[in-house]
Structure 1
């Protein structure tokens, strides 16, 4: 049984479907609302229902849960519902995340707090409520989603980078705390992925030096400058699936506490 947050589209959807293809039943959670501090449209509840239906078309059981990863009561309720319905959780992927842009001195408190709440607090809350069930069974796989900006950083994303650095700190600490219970905790650090979070005008403008009128071509070229593999800008939205399946499987039984970059060489350049 797997639990994926931020699963209504993009990477989260790909993770959920990949786990289902490998034989897992999958519970999916996402926010059925907009967040005012981001400049792109977030998914709706109907998008999450479609993912659940796609999982069931793969002959696996699914459960769609509308919830906010920043709200403790939502995550507690979601985990209780999953345990009641399926009996256990073997794999958890705290994937929900947002991005926005601004110089550190321009960011307002609400924008900064929202970034930390979704990307870092949401990851912590998801793990907080799943971990006791894994501890009881003495097995589990936790795969968190950080970013190349959880290792590196760039202009206009200080709050995003701080949140993703925090995810890696959380991963390392959880790996230490949960290792004795045979629970692996790892992270994936993607470069730019072709999802609505990155494929939008605000991101294009940031890649054009923070000026209005940026294009997808600007964004692709900026990442191509740093990535070692040829002719790669944004990676496809299923680019991290292979790493996820490795970290969620018994093949990674001796791997814990590490970030795996899926970055076309970005962090090496």
Structure 2
């Protein structure tokens, strides 16, 4: 049987968290294959994340990069924690292009504290952004996908969603929940032409990883640790002894799931863990 081309021309993709990092890489990759991309991001402080989030100029840069590849990109501000805003945007996309064929949920934050020291606000914001925000987006696109009997959903979780992680209980809980949510969706819609899968990255070379707060978590013995200081410590976490993957590696995993190669894949978790999954049952 000849291999089918991974062609997304004529399809519309909605990517959250696309202002930078993994979301930007996914937006560019999907546009490169011909999809019309609606790139969204909060572009405002979260209130609990201990590092700066994307700004409006970052989302504009994503749109510029998509355009430089000859693609079509519509940048939109979106707070995935707000269900009405999510529903309104999905409705706008459908009115403009006819459908949302692909959803990739990259929007997320990270923070850290021992479990007993987590404030209610930290817990609530983490769950609202990473888990409930994913739910809002998935719920909004499912009816249209089911009606058309066609759709691809990919949620970005984390290797921390596959295991416990000290000082990141709220983050692990949110990302573990994403896996349970998407597996349930996969079963509910398996006979309606909709696939739903999860990608679990480990450390990725993005601002979420590279910031003073996270550096201090992994190098508590150093004052003001730098990227060079933490690189060997991050590398030691990986069986491959690679400190972090490029965001394009996550986009490649998404690429596999949203095209013809993913026709028979649903309810799966694709680890991009640089060997860390080999330690799990």
Q: Fold match, TM over 0.5?
A: yes
The 1-side partners of 2:192 and 2:220 are apart by 47
Residue 6 of structure 2 is matched in structure 1 by: none
2:244 to 234, 249, 259: 234
Distance 2:223 2:179 in 1: 32
Instruction: Normalising by structure 2, report the TM-score.
Output: 0.91
Cα 1:266/1:253, change in 2 over 3 Å: same
How far apart are 1:241 and its partner, in Å? Answer: 1.6
User: 1:115-264 alignment to 2 at 5 Å?
Assistant: 115-209=126-220, 213-230=224-241, 232-264=242-274
Q: Contact 2:237–2:243 (CA<8 Å) still a contact in 1?
A: no
1:154 to 1:236, Cα distance in 2 relative to 1, 3 A: same
Identify the range of structure 1 (142-151 vs 39-48) with the bigger mean alpha-carbon deviation: 39-48
With normalisation by structure 1, the TM-score equals 0.95
Residue equivalent to 2:108: 97
Structure 2 CA distance, aligned partners of 1:253 and 1:263? 23
The alignment covers a number of residue pairs equal to 268
Q: Contact 2:19–2:43 (CA<8 Å) still a contact in 1?
A: no
CA contact (8 A) 2:30 2:37 kept: yes
CA RMSD of aligned residues (A): 1.4
CA offsets 1:52-75 (integer angstroms, 9 cap, x no match) = 232233332221111100001110
Bigger Cα displacement from structure 2, 151-160 vs 214-223: 214-223
2:45 alignment counterpart: 34
Instruction: Judge conservation of contact 2:103–2:152 (CA < 8 Å) in 1.
Output: yes
Shift of residue 215 of structure 1? 3.3
Q: 1:56 to 1:206 in 2, by over 3 A?
A: same
